[in-house]
Chains A and B, each alone.
Chain A
Amino acid sequence: MKEINHYLSMLEHGAISRREFMGRALALGVTVTGATAMLPRYAQAAPKKGGRLRYGLTGGASSDTIDPALLTTFTFNISSGQIRNCLTEIAADGGLIGELAESWEASPDAKVWTFKLRQGVEFHNGKTLTVTDVIESINYHRGEDSTSGAKATLSGVTDIKAGGKNEIVFTMGSGNADFPYLLAEYQLVICPAKAGGGIDWQSGIGTGGYVLDSFEPGVKALSHRNKNYWKEGHAHFDEIESLFIPDATARTTALQTGEIDVMTSVDLKTVNRLERVSGINIIKTTGNKHVTLPMHTNKSPYSDNNLRLALKHSIDREQWLKFIVKGYGEIGNDIPLGPANIYRASTDEIPQHSYDPDKARHYLKKAGYDSIDLQIWASDVAFEGGVIDAAQLYSETAKKSGINLEVVRHPADGYWSNVWGKKPFMCSYWNGRPTEDAIFSLVYSANEDGPSGWNDTLWSHDRFNELLLLARSELDTTVRRGQYLEMQRILHDEGGAIIPLFLSYVAAASDKVHLPDQMSANWELDGTKCTERWWFK
């Protein structure tokens, strides 16, 4: 408590900002609510309305569309951040709250979920939100013809129908205790239903805090505040200008010269310089986005777990964190659960894999090699930061234990279609998922038909798959915790992916923008909700 008082007095004398105080308080183990309560003299700044937020975004192209099934990072910011809502929402503290759904409950086996729809919500065109809009919007991602990334997310759903008044009932083949989390996935936004079935996404009409005025793919989008927004105390800007600025230098100078107020994806190579520019705040949120180096566990030599362990011990994670992402991240332990997951094991429960050439050599011997020549495929798009540098760093550290790792550089063009899932050892990333079940079942599970569609290690582990099903329908959190712990241990010891790093979302904002003390880390920019949670001072 002494330290807290010290920080409080520093805050009082203006030596640290509110934001810094919160950060330090959290580091001391105080909860957000606790820390906020310690600030009686500093009543929460009241939101101020007005202004035109201009933000520079990435991850778009002139081929972009606002079709919820085919969103890119750029259009996701427009879709979820401005014009539409989901049934549920990941709150700033990482917890799950209702968005268009007011409440929900599950049957005891977690197979049937009933959602109660919020009353009196209107679309931008004045039409009242109904159960039909929700059902059509979700069904849009299901079925034979769906091209949606959410198709796999919804594969467990067998039926969606209207329940009592304003209720939607989801039925699943097997129980899923995390189902409400899945409905916060960015594709599952609610659009108005069309008369003959299907949804109208083309018009951009939604229930969100901003009304879309224009959208030019790969260039920009303009929107203005929805005066009729149902969410109290949110969406404070008058207008939003979303600019697609792919070039990192152009983004940075635009922020520096006041052409934009907020930018995403700060170039990590120059972030240390940007930190020193006055009038600019760097925003770091570390969620579940992680680097992965998947190996095809069904192909020799990667089928031998000893070799996989040798590779896991010959990568220097500390150096990756320090040099590749300049400290903007966290060290990974070959487990795809990040700080935003609930059941993530601590390093006391599962010891940290660290760089140990002797251990690596020991496992290499066990696998029957004195030395081995391997190839790893890499490309600039594999993850943010210097991918080629990272792979070369790995190659250098692996040499010490007799592993000669050749870095095969592939152009960005066609990397996902020609390398991912096809080459036996490569660099990649996952944005992570809010729940343990989602990431485990999408990327690491297998059933009688073989590995799941995104299982990029082609891994199939009977006990793991068995636990996955048990934990999915388990509503008792203690039992569930034990099951997830065992699964993490299996992945850690036998899995086919090296997960060296969790990546922070690194954004920057002009100091005219009020930044909340806590931001959600599930996606960039406060989970893309900066448009409704931030304001101009």
Chain B
Amino acid sequence: MSSILNMVAQRIGLGILLLVVVSIIIFLGVELLPGDIAEEILGQTATPETVEALRRQLGLNLPPHTRYFHWLANILQGDFGTSLANGREISGMIKYRLGNTFFLAAVAALTSIPLALIFGLLTALYRNSLFDRTVNVITLTAISAPEFFIAYILILVFSVNLGWLPSLSNVDADTEFWERLRRVVLPAFTLTSVVLAYMMRMVRASIINLLASDYIEMANLKGMAKARIVLHHALPNAWAPIATVIAFTLAYLIVGVVVVEVVFVYPGLGQLIVDSVSKRDIPVVQGCSLIFAATYILLNLTADVVSIVSNPRLLHPK
């Protein structure tokens, strides 16, 4: 067990280093973009004098490395700083949207992961049957269509034609739980249809792979029930790749859903980072990136821990 704790500690240490590297890359990236926040905010109304004045007010006349280290020093004290564009506390802006992002990701994950497991197992068991082919065709079609297209189709059917669900998911802090759930049904459904095929096929492939091995054949020969073979003998050995693909899917659900946010007008983190990049609002971009990067690192770590714990050979190395 101590080896796991060691690994976790090591990974977290590396993760923090990685976060610093990410923040430097993001900072340089945004710096390299043409134009700066003063020009972007003032847009077409910019005149040389007003651009200069805004730059002075925002401290953009300082050299880049000074601004970066200033930001880093604040972050180390837990201060995300304020947005250059509107002077608001970045932690407040992120908190408001992060909760929404997590909520949508959770709803999508809670529908898509069980579905992926169930359909993955069933299609593996009844592979090449009509059922297998039908499920595959449907899920692969869904993953091949762009998100916004699926979203528009869902809106057309469930909002415009049937009138069952709202087309806007504009939740706010006062929205109560059930109303919030009702408002995210369509976006969560869209996301589910996008991520389902990937996870399901991964489960299916891992199980099929294992079903071909000798010990499964042994179990078959001694007349064990199919369900018992799959659930008790095949599945435990398939957890590692499944955990990895689930972790990646979760990460995607948290960081990559900006298109769905726009179509359903859902106030998530994706829209914030896109707006901030286009306005060159570096502190906000960096705050969001840190959260995204940390999400990836933590989820990968979790996937690794699950793989190790589920595999006695890794858990007790000789």
Contacts and interface: CB of A to CB of B under 8 A. Distances in A.
A147 B53 contact: yes
Interface in A428-458: 428, 453-454
A256 B166 CA distance: 11
Contacts of B155: 249-250, 253
A143 to B, nearest CB: 9
B235 to A, nearest CB: 41
A245 B43 CA distance: 20
Interface string A344-362: 0000000000000000000
Contacts of A247: 262-263, 265
A218 interface: yes
A416 B39 contact: yes
Contacts of B166: 257, 259
Interface in B147-165: 152, 155-156, 159-160, 163
B159 A257 contact: yes
A404 interface: no
B54 A245 contact: no
A214 B167 CA distance: 23
A144 B54 CA distance: 10
B279 A63 contact: yes
A417 B37 CA distance: 10
Given A219-B267, A250-B264, A257-B160, A414 B86 contact: no
Contact of B167 (A61, A144, A217, A254): A254
A454 B45 CA distance: 8
Interface string A213-241: 01011111000000000000000000000
A373 interface: no
Contacts of B159: 253, 257
B35 A418 contact: yes
B223 interface: no
B241 to A, nearest CB: 37
A264 interface: no
Given A62-B272, A247-B262, A249-B263, A256 B279 contact: no
Given A216-B172, A243-B168, A453-B47, A65 B263 contact: no
A3 interface: no
Contacts of A65: 85-87
A277 to B, nearest CB: 10
A417 B34 contact: yes
Contacts of B53: 144-147
Given A61-B275, A63-B275, A250 B265 contact: yes
A149 B172 contact: no
B186 to A, nearest CB: 11
Interface in A407-434: 412-414, 416-418, 420, 428
B276 interface: yes
Interface in A63-116: 63-65, 67, 70
Is the contact region of chain B dominated by helix, strand, or loop, or is it mixed? Answer: helix
Contacts of B85: 61, 63-65
Contacts of B276: 62-63
Nearest to B273: A62
Given A247-B265, A257-B163, A414-B33, A420 B168 contact: no
Contacts of A218: 267, 271-272, 275
Contacts of A246: 262
Interface in A35-59: none
Interface string B274-293: 01101101001000000000
Contacts of A62: 93, 271-272, 275-276
A219 B271 CA distance: 10
A414 B167 contact: no
A253 B148 CA distance: 14
B228 interface: no
A61 B168 contact: no
Interface in B96-155: 96, 152, 155
A117 to B, nearest CB: 28
B57 interface: yes
A152 interface: yes
A147 B43 contact: no
A420 B47 CA distance: 12
Contacts of B172: 214, 216, 219-220
A250 B44 contact: no
A151 B265 CA distance: 34
Given A216-B96, A216-B172, A454 B160 contact: no
A148 interface: yes
Nearest to A253: B167
Contacts of A220: 170, 172
Contact of A254 (B33, B38, B86, B168): B168
A420 B44 contact: yes
A417 B87 CA distance: 22
A145 B56 contact: yes
A421 to B, nearest CB: 9
A416 B38 CA distance: 12
B83 interface: yes
Contacts of A243: 168, 170, 265
A342 to B, nearest CB: 24
Contacts of B39: 416-417
A25 B168 CA distance: 40
Interface in A250-271: 250, 253-254, 256-257, 259-260
A146 B45 CA distance: 13
A37 B14 CA distance: 79
Given A249-B155, A253-B160, A259-B167, 18 more contacts: A61-B278, A63-B275, A144-B53, A145-B56, A147-B38, A217-B86, A220-B170, A243-B168, A243-B170, A243-B265, A247-B262, A250-B168, A253-B156, A253-B159, A412-B278, A414-B33, A414-B40, A418-B35
Interface of A: 61-65, 67, 70, 144-149, 151-152, 214, 216-220, 243-247, 249-250, 253-254, 256-257, 259-260, 412-414, 416-418, 420, 428, 453-454
In the complex, the 10 A-B pairs of residues with the closest C-beta atoms, listed nearest first: A63-B85, A453-B47, A417-B35, A149-B45, A65-B86, A417-B39, A147-B54, A62-B275, A61-B275, A219-B267
10 contacts: A61-B85, A62-B272, A67-B86, A148-B50, A149-B42, A149-B45, A216-B267, A218-B272, A243-B168, A418-B34
